[in-house]
Amino acid sequence: MLTEPQRERINVVLVSPRNPLNIGAVARAMANFGFTRMRVVNPYEPHWREARSAVGAPELLKGAQETASLAEAIRDCSLVLGTGTLTHRKAEQPVVPLDKLAPLVTESLGRGERIALVFGSEKHGLTREDLSYCHVLVEIPTDAQQPSMNLGQAAAVCLYDLATRSGPSITGSGIAEDRLDPASKTANASKPSPTSDNLDILSSLIEEVMVAAKYSPHTMQGANRHDLRLILRRMNLNAADSRRALGLFRRILRRLRIPQS
């Protein structure tokens, strides 16, 4: 079982939820398994904190953070877990079955990192843009005849798995090893990972370099930005390497901006 300090480092993030009753159901599931950190991104209803379905968790709802964007909600997290099924999407990041998630979470908690478990709206789940901020897509196994789950139920299933299968007792091979190549795994196993905000800063700087170098037309900048977010998260940089990369691209940008005689 996860300890209380470990559960405090796991944030449940709801992106554009539409129904306050579903938000309350998620809060109740969080309380059932000892999680307290909720972040709500751009909720559809302004009075979502008053959901009567949050039985046993009204204080959790009152203390939840509301943000205008997913980037803001996950800025301090070093492992961002998107959730969903593969029924109507082609994943652009590693896919982790829910029952194989524990080693990856345990490894991240062992480095003292914050984790975000992200759920999309009831209408369409996480968008392609949302998922570009995620290190992995956690696949919740469901029957092909009814692949989508109620938001509260999906949260309960995931939180039960995290609470009971992650922690110091989890050992052996698993997705934590599969996510990295052997050399990268050895180098990064005990080193802290950059936060999502750190990666976004690096991504923005690389984009500036690309613009200064006239890498691609203006119409491609949105696609480049999306691809950069994905690439940096798939690279599994440690925090020190992300700082080195930041310094490298700053020097390149300065040189590009020096007027040519």
Tens-digit pLDDT profile for residues 72-107: 999 999 999 999 887 777 889 999 999 999 999 999
Domain boundary pick from 178, 212, 232: 178
Q: How far apart are CA 250 and CA 13, in angstroms?
A: 32
Assess whether 40 and 145 both reside in one domain: yes
Please indicate, yes or no, whether residues 161 and 74 belong to a single structural domain of this protein.
yes
Distance between CA 118 and CA 110 in Å, rounded? 20
Contacts of 147 (CB under 8 A, 6+ apart): 85, 87, 88
Same domain, 91 and 153: yes
Same domain, 58 and 110: yes
| Cα of 46 vs its chain's centroid, Å | 24
- Please check whether residues 31 and 153 belong to one and the same domain: yes
Is residue 186 one of the residues assigned to a domain? no
Q: Are residue 77 and residue 201 in the same domain, yes or no?
A: no
Could you tell me if residue 226 is inside a domain?
yes
- Give how many domains the chain has, as a whole number: 2
Tell me if 28 sits within 8 A of 2, measured CB to CB: no
Give 218-237 pLDDT, tens digit per residue: 888 889 999 999 999 999 99
Closest CA to 32 of 9, 49, 53, 63: 53
142-171 pLDDT tens trace: 887 887 789 999 999 999 999 998 876 554
Helix (H) or strand (E) holding 184: helix 182-188
Of 152, 178, 204, the position where a domain reaches its end is 178
Do both 168 and 214 map to the same domain?
no
CATH number at residue 151: 3.40.1280.10
57 pLDDT band, cuts 50/70/90, is very high
Q: Which two tokens stand for residue 150?
A: 């109620």
Q: Is 57 exposed, middle or buried (0-12, 13-18, 19+ CB in 10 A)?
A: buried
More confident residue, 123 or 137: 137
| Cα separation values, 180 from 103, 158, 185, Å | 13, 23, 5
Domain of residue 235: give its range.
196-257
Q: Are residues 173 and 224 in the same domain?
A: no
Give SS3 for 218. Answer: helix
DSSP type of residue 173 = S
Q: Report yes or no on 27 lying in a domain.
A: yes
Whether 151 is in a domain gets the answer yes
User: How would you classify the pairing of strands 79-84 and 136-139?
Assistant: parallel
- Given phi > 0 = left and psi -120 to 50 = alpha, else beta, which region is 117? beta
Query: Three-state DSSP class for 162?
Result: helix
Q: Is 238 helix (H, G, I), strand (E, B) or coil?
A: coil
- pTM for the complete prediction? 0.88
Q: Is residue 76 domain-shared with residue 158, that is, in the same domain? A: yes
Q: Is residue 189 part of a domain?
A: no
In order, the DSSP letters of 123-145 are: TTBS-HHHHTT-SEEEE----TT
